[in-house]
Amino acid sequence: MRRASPEVATADQLVSGWVTGPVTVEVPATSANLGPGYDCLGLALELVDTLEAEVRPAGLAIEVAGEGAEEVPRDERHLVVRSMQVAFSALDGPPPGLWLRCTNRIPHSRGMGSSSAAIVGGLVLARALVADGAARLDDAALLALANRIEGHPDNVAPALLGGFVVSGQAGEVVWAQRVDLDPRVRAVVAVPPYAVATAVARGLLPEVVPHADAAANAGRAALLVAALAGEPSLLLRATEDFLHQQQRTPAMPETLAVVGALRGAGVPAVVSGAGPTVLAFVVDQDGVPDAVAAHLPTGWRVLPQAVGGPGARVLA
């Protein structure tokens, strides 16, 4: 598709089968791993990106505001557009033209699922622009497409389904199961002023880990599911990790120092995703944001978050 100004299309200018008028989708930030649940546990957060798109007679026009607006491309390389094209290919092929507006609130490259939000949001948006897209491409198929683009399901699953999700992959089969979340559980997210690329953070992990560490992590991950489902008093022990957090210290020393300080104060804090954001679970939130802020270096933001809300949804 060539670039074009965002002129409005009339119904008779468009190929039959496309939805006329703009479609709006909200998609949440997510936190993956949650300590011991490496590449298998994920949680939808309160923060959302808003995507709006419309099929046009020709061309491609992209508007971006908010987080990362000065950094993302305005052509076919844009991750939302690339994801939309994957969904279009699974349906009837690309539309004649496209207008897209992204209002980004999720910080980029901070471990809060900004790329997963773009992928899932793009897929859901494309499905909604096809008149019978929802009937022909269900959430299971959409999850498989999202996993194919992202490479692992721990962020894309809660971005699509919402809530607290256990997910995994067996060969080409991707699965995801929502787990009930104790309504008392909330979170405080501490976001640093700098980014860490996921590829850099993953590159620090060893290829082989001791059997004892793997067993300890398996036990903590199982305990974490129980803690989040109804026993939040167990969260400090349940969020212990042996496989990936300390190993990433060279890429984010401040982050691991903050995690250590909070945990030393009895707060169940973890690295959010690949970092460098820190997520602290809370039950009684009174005074907790201030207590978290007291352990943060200069320039970090504190964002109290409801957790386990809806996944990607079409608003209009």
Task: Tell me whether the omega of the peptide bond preceding residue 276 falls within 30 degrees of 0, making it cis.
Answer: yes
Residue 3 placed within a domain: no
How far is the C-alpha of 122 from the C-alpha of 127, rounded, in Å? 9
Residue 275 placed within a domain: yes
Sign of CA dihedral 226, 182, 256, 208: positive
CA distances to 28, 110, 144, 230, 315 from 118, in Å: 10, 14, 15, 31, 16
Residue 28 placed within a domain: yes
Instruction: Extract the runs of DSSP E, i.e. beta strands, from 86-172.
Output: 97-104, 164-170
Same domain, 76 and 55: yes
Known binding positions: 107-117
One digit per residue, the tens of pLDDT, for the chain of length 316 reads 433 333 444 444 455 689 988 999 999 999 999 999 999 999 999 999 999 999 999 999 999 999 999 999 999 999 999 999 999 999 989 999 999 999 999 999 999 999 999 999 999 999 999 999 999 999 999 999 999 999 999 999 999 999 999 999 998 899 999 999 999 999 999 999 999 988 999 899 999 999 999 999 999 999 999 999 999 999 999 999 999 999 999 999 999 999 999 999 999 999 999 999 999 999 876 666 788 888 999 999 999 999 999 999 999 6
Residue that has been written with the tokens 């957090």 in this structure: 245
Same domain, 164 and 40: yes
Known binding positions for ATP: 107-117
Same domain, 39 and 171: yes
Three-class SS state of 142: helix
How far is the C-alpha of 76 from the C-alpha of 86, rounded, in Å? 12
Residue 139 placed within a domain: yes
Same domain, 171 and 238: no
CA distances to 156, 234, 252, 290, 294 from 268, in Å: 24, 9, 19, 15, 15
What's the domain range around 263? 186-305
Instruction: Extract the runs of DSSP E, i.e. beta strands, from 105-161.
Output: none
CATH number, domain at 85? 3.30.230.10
End-to-end CA distance of the chain: 25
Same domain, 104 and 166: yes
How far is the C-alpha of 170 from the C-alpha of 234, rounded, in Å? 30
Residue 4 placed within a domain: no
How far is the C-alpha of 109 from the C-alpha of 151, rounded, in Å? 16
How far is the C-alpha of 140 from the C-alpha of 160, rounded, in Å? 10
Same domain, 104 and 221: no
Cβ(157)–Cβ(167) below 8 Å = yes
Q: What are phi and psi of 303, to 5 degrees?
A: -125, 100
pLDDT at 287: 60
217 φ/ψ sector (left φ>0, alpha ψ -120 to 50, else beta): alpha
The structure tokens listed for 239 are 């969020």
Same domain, 69 and 159: yes
Same domain, 172 and 191: no
Same domain, 22 and 165: yes
pTM of the model: 0.92
Residue 6 placed within a domain: no
**Which amino acid is it at 194?**
Y
Residue 5 placed within a domain: no
Closest by alpha carbon to 268, among 257, 280, 251, 285? 280
Same domain, 120 and 229: no
How far is the C-alpha of 7 from the C-alpha of 97, rounded, in Å? 10
Cβ(169)–Cβ(175) below 8 Å = yes
Same domain, 30 and 144: yes
Same domain, 168 and 209: no
Residue that has been written with the tokens 């508007």 in this structure: 63
How far is the C-alpha of 244 from the C-alpha of 201, rounded, in Å? 9
CATH number, domain at 247? 3.30.70.890
Quote the number of domains for the chain. Answer: 2
The structure tokens listed for 248 are 């990433």
pLDDT at 16: 67
How far is the C-alpha of 256 from the C-alpha of 265, rounded, in Å? 14
Residue 1 placed within a domain: no
pLDDT at 245: 95
